[in-house]
Every structure is written in structure tokens, then in C-alpha cells.
Amino acid sequence: MHRIQRDGTPQVRMEFEGETLLAHQGDTVAAALLAGNHWNFRTTPVSGAARGPFCMMGVCFECLVEIDGVANRQACMTEVRDGMRVKRQQGANDTAGNVFSDAEQDTGQ
């Protein structure tokens, strides 16, 4: 992946799935993860298929991740910050971060 040189831009440390990554201040979480060769940001609720960023402008919601324990965060719209902890989002989550099973999604319970 081609990356624009940013001489003099401060770097920040973030964590993705336990791995420490360096990112440039001002980068989005999605840009930092892609630069670190991470393409799978979440799994779909029904089939568990891997998904990653598509539009990079906040429209498609394919880049949803968990950031510092908060689910449903758009990686393409969130700037990195020092010490941030990011995890893959597994399936469907409500705003409290609860993961739903397929049966619960089908019945709405």
C-alpha cells in the first residue's frame, strides 16, 4: 500500500487485537490499520464473513470496530489517538456492546 510521506508529523501508538501499531497523528483508525496490513475489521452477523473498509467516507459501515470497549465505531471516521485499543467487531452489537446470536436477531429478542 502506498503511503504519503509525513516528515515531522508526530506518531502515536495504538493497539489492534493485542498488536502495537504506529500511526501518524491525524490518520484515521482505518488508514492506520490498512497501513499495518490489517484488512479484516469485522465479521457479518449471519455468515461470519470478514469485512473491511470500502468507501472510507462513513457511508457503507463496513469498517465498524470496537474502540476502547465501545462497539459500532466507524474506523474511517475516527482519528487515532495515543493508547487507543481497537478490536475486530464480531457479528452484530447493540450500542452497549452486547453481541447478539443469530436466533436473537431473527426474533428481535
pLDDT of residue 8: 80
Locate 25 and state its grid cell.
497523528
pLDDT of residue 48: 94
Domain residue extents for the chain: 11-97
* Owner of C-alpha cell 475516527: 78
| Distance between CA atoms of residues 62 and 38, nearest Å | 14
- In sequence order, which residues have a C-beta less than 8 Å from that of residue 19 and are 6 or more positions away? 36
Res. 22: pLDDT tops 90? yes
Res. 12: pLDDT tops 60? yes
Q: Which one is the CATH code of 11-97: 3.40.605.10, 3.10.20.440, 3.40.50.920, 3.40.50.720?
A: 3.10.20.440
Q: What is the mean pLDDT of residues 96-108?
A: 53
Residue-by-residue DSSP string for 11-74: EEEEEETTEEEEEETT-BHHHHHHHTT----EE-TTT--EE--SSSSSSS-TTEEEETTEEEEE
Q: What is the pTM of this model?
A: 0.80
How would residue 47 be classed by pLDDT, with cut points 50, 70 and 90? very high
pLDDT of residue 80: 98
